[in-house]
Amino acid sequence: MTNFNRWTIVFAGALMGCVAIGTMFSLAVFLDPMSADTGWSRAGISSAMTLNFLVMGVAGILWGMASDRFGPRIVVLAGSLLLGLALVLASRATSLLAFQLTFGLLVGLAASAFFAPVTAAVTGWFTTNRSLAVSLVSAGMGMAPMTISPFARYLITAYDWRFAMLAIGIGAWLVLLPATLLLSRPPASPASSPAAGNAPSGGMTMTDVLRSPQFWILGLTFFACCAAHSGPIFHMVSYAIVCGVSPMAAVSIYSVEGLAGLGGRLLLGVAADRIGVKPVLVAGLIVQAVVIAAYSAVSALEQFYLLALVFGAAYGGVMPLYAVLAHDYFGQKNLGAVLGAAGMLSSIGMALGPWIGGWIFDTFQNYAWLFIGSSIVGLGAVAIALAFPPLPRREAQAQPA
């Protein structure tokens, strides 16, 4: 495959990540108008996001295994069809339980069909610039706050939340279904080609992976990292509104985070290719924890923007590095399943923040404890990441490029 075609897969992955994850995270924009219109509690609505991540954790393994066996295109196609359907059904929900089941379960099931299959495909096609390629795919997810969320806010203002969610569901079909045609399965053994000087040959079995300390250090770091930033990300718009920021300006903070995340993914991806994944990951986790704590002390829009730039770059930049580490440790053979298993742990972490943040606000009428607790968890992610063992020496690394 030519370089052009490989980068086309990266583009397709970034586009699909933007739409899939963007539609899910747009719930943060729907939170206030839905609560005002229906009388449903913030904790109740936020629990749909918690269900999203719990379902993603389990389904991600199954989608990853299916991708390893059948290739990414058919898996992502199924996820695209289901995502649009889930949003259409959620827009018609007349009870909190119905909304939680449609948005919480079905959107989570659909969104989990993208991360592991697309990321595994991209890592398989690249032997050089792998961190950058994976970071660019992840950058698509970072674009979501700059695209889907403002679009949702506009539709809610112009019409109502139900019309907005329905339109986003139909739009997801229009974008995702054609994009699936750009995906293709990577070679079975990319390390066997002469150009694959740094690619691991073959890969570990899933049994060996799950028994290895490397997997559990990777998975627990991923878990703690996501548990730290999920609550602040999801409740940022509501927190800014509580601080007196207008709703549209509050959404713009979300967008600034996304823009910074795009830059952070590129910067940390290039840095990881040059100086190694572990030191870059640890540095990003440290910055993330410090900035989360700082949010508890801000209230002005300009302060929010400043922290959003740093926070977005930090959490956005570290996210794709877990996939690169997984490939370096475990190889390509079962990478979809490996990423699905690690993603299950990260999804549990992501599931905690939205619900806990909603409970904290409903109980204390402020978000201070959310940011303090999240920062402590972020420091825990740093401590776990420091335990990463050296990368295994592989015969493939001795081959000439």
Indicate whether 40 pLDDT > 60: yes
Give me the amino acid identity at 338.
V
User: What average pLDDT does the segment 127-154 reach?
Assistant: 77
Are 198 and 397 in contact by the 8 Å Cβ rule? The answer is yes
The two three-digit tokens of residue 203, written as one number: 């890969």
Task: From residue 1, give the alpha-carbon distance in Å to each of 72, 117, 194, 200.
Answer: 16, 19, 14, 19
Q: How many CB atoms lie within 10 A of CB 343?
A: 30
Q: Quickly count helices (H) and strands (E) in the chain.
A: 16, 0
- What pLDDT shows up at residue 200? 45
Q: How far is 308 from 24, CA to CA, in rounded Å?
A: 20
- What pLDDT shows up at residue 203? 56
Indicate whether 2 pLDDT > 80: no
Q: How far is 143 from 257, CA to CA, in rounded Å?
A: 9
The two three-digit tokens of residue 234, written as one number: 């999801």
**91-95, 204-208, 302-306: which range is least confident on average?**
204-208
Among residues of the chain, what percentage have pLDDT more than 90?
A: 27
Confidence of residue 117 (pLDDT cuts 50, 70, 90): confident
Indicate whether 13 pLDDT > 90: no
Confidence of residue 135 (pLDDT cuts 50, 70, 90): confident
Indicate whether 44 pLDDT > 50: yes
- Between 216 and 258, residue with greater pLDDT: 216
Give me the amino acid identity at 114.
F
The torsion defined by the Cα of 364, 95, 79 and 153, in degrees rounded to 10, comes to: -60
- Between 229 and 255, residue with greater pLDDT: 229
End-to-end CA distance of the chain: 17
- What pLDDT shows up at residue 400? 37
Indicate whether 145 pLDDT > 70: no
Mean pLDDT of the chain, nearest integer: 83
Confidence of residue 377 (pLDDT cuts 50, 70, 90): very high
Angle at 297 between CA 291 and CA 236, to 5 degrees: 65
What DSSP element (H or E) covers 132?
helix 130-158
Q: How far is 183 from 259, CA to CA, in rounded Å?
A: 25
- Between 350 and 392, residue with greater pLDDT: 350
The CATH number of 3-388 is 1.20.1250.20
Domain extents in the chain = 3-388
Name residue, tokens 């539709």. Answer: 155
Task: From residue 12, give the alpha-carbon distance in Å to each of 127, 182, 260.
Answer: 19, 6, 21
The torsion defined by the Cα of 350, 237, 262 and 319, in degrees rounded to 10, comes to: -10
**95-109, 126-140, 198-212, 322-336: which range is least confident on average?**
198-212
Indicate whether 131 pLDDT > 80: no
Contacts of 307 (CB under 8 A, 6+ apart): 291, 294, 295, 298
Confidence of residue 52 (pLDDT cuts 50, 70, 90): confident
- Between 337 and 387, residue with greater pLDDT: 387
Contacts of 290 (CB under 8 A, 6+ apart): 375
- What pLDDT shows up at residue 188? 61
Residue 338 CA, chain-centre distance (Å), reads 16
- What pLDDT shows up at residue 82? 94
Are 321 and 288 in contact by the 8 Å Cβ rule? The answer is no
